[in-house]
Amino acid sequence: MNNLSMKHMRYFDALARHGHFGRAAADCSVSQPALSVQIKELEALIGARLVERSARQIRLTPLGERFAARVRDILQAVDELDDLSRASRRPFTGQFRIGVIPTVAPYLLPRLIMGLGEIYGGLDIRPREAVTRKLLADLADGRLDAAIVALPVAEASFAEKSLFEEEFVLVRPIREAGAPVPGLEELQDRRLLLLEEGHCFREQAIAFCKIAPTPSRDLIEGSSLTTLVQMVGADIGVTLIPDIAVPMETRSASVAVARLPEPRPSRTIGMVWRKTNPLGDELAAIAETMAGMDLARNG
């Protein structure tokens, strides 16, 4: 296997993670045929099948499963060598791969990129938006340097730094503007619009409202906060959104925003990174910089 390359391993790792040639190719920024050629070449070098192919899906062979685990370890070790090199540079420069959850990314990233760019002139910020579960998996595997998520993450291998706290606000149809704000019991009887499963904000909203999403419960789901707010504007129901989203999401929607009675629901947004990352000191400094940037300001 003298001709085994990093390209072979990165392409195979992407295929193992995504379980789909098209998605793996997109992740690697190559065409699907190009990725397929590299996988076939890898199998020829190995002398065995790593992937079972069918019309609709792919499945790793038993050897492929074991091979994928070893490849992932090798790629993470190589990435950590790159991290060691980056950590030696002062000030911190080069790529900064940061993930951000969808209920924060649209409202925070422009401010974040501009602010960090002014302080760290040589930093090449590479943001990625995904739900918490995906970000933490990518962080653990070394595909991200850091992630901005709702804290705590309850993962001993991650360091975390609080950036800001924010409240959730109630969004209801414009005809209810000026009406008394419903208490928790009344809110439980309303048609509540929620994000799809996988979003941590969905779980936080459900926990605050103390509702069980059973088949008899009148819940409607949306793929984004924008969708939820627009549905409220169409008088379909009510929803909760984080304070940071209010200016952007209510700009073009016919809705009313109200603060909920005490105790109001809230969340802590913070940055997390692997404790073993050689860039740990630099990442902690960046997190400290972010915490002082007033990222939660409205507008």
Tens of pLDDT, residue by residue over 150-207, are: 999 988 999 999 999 999 999 999 999 888 888 877 877 788 898 888 888 888 888 8
* pLDDT tens-digit series, residues 285-298: 999 999 988 887 66
Average pLDDT, the chain: 86
Q: Are 222 and 195 in contact (CB under 8 A)?
A: yes
Confidence label for 215 from pLDDT (cuts 50, 70 and 90): low
Q: What pLDDT shows up at residue 57?
A: 76
Rounded to whole angstroms, the Cα distance separating 117 from 196 reads 33
Give the percent of the chain with pLDDT over 90.
40
Reduced DSSP (H G I as helix, E B as strand, rest coil) percent helix, strand, coil of the chain, to 5: 45, 25, 35
Does the 6-80 domain belong in CATH 1.10.10.10? yes
- Is residue 92 pLDDT above 60, yes or no? yes
Residue pLDDT, tens place only, 121-135: 888 899 999 999 999
85 pLDDT band (50/70/90 cuts)?
A: low
What class is the 165-266 domain? alpha beta
Question: Is the pLDDT at 228 greater than 90, yes or no?
Answer: yes
- For residues 124 and 96, is the Cβ–Cβ distance under 8 A? yes
Phi, psi of 107 (to 5 degrees): -95, -25
**Does the structure show a pLDDT above 60 at 213?**
no
Q: Which CATH architecture has domain 86-162+271-291?
A: 3-Layer(aba) Sandwich (3.40)
Q: In this model, does residue 217 exceed pLDDT 60?
A: no
User: How confident is the model at residue 298, as a pLDDT?
Assistant: 62
* Domain boundaries of the chain, sorted by first residue: 6-80, 86-162+271-291, 165-266
More confident residue, 218 or 202: 202
Give the dihedral sign, CA 17/21/25/30. positive
> Residues with Cβ < 8 Å from 191, sequence gap 6 or more?
218, 219, 220, 236, 237, 238
Using the predicted structure, report yes or no on whether residue 53 has a pLDDT greater than 90. no
CA distances from 205 to 99, 147, 152, 185, 264 (A): 22, 22, 16, 14, 11
In angstroms, what CA-CA distances link 161 with 68, 164, 279? Answer: 32, 9, 15
pLDDT score at 174: 94
The model carries a pTM of 0.76
pLDDT for 95 beyond 70? yes
Let me know if the fold of 86-162+271-291 is the same as that of 165-266. Answer: yes
Residue 249 banded pLDDT, cuts 50, 70, 90? very high
Share of the chain above pLDDT 70, in %: 92
Per the CB < 8 A criterion, the answer to whether 168 and 121 are in contact is no
20 Cβ contact partners less than 8 Å away, ≥ 6 residues apart: 57, 58
At 27, phi and psi to the nearest 5?
-65, -35
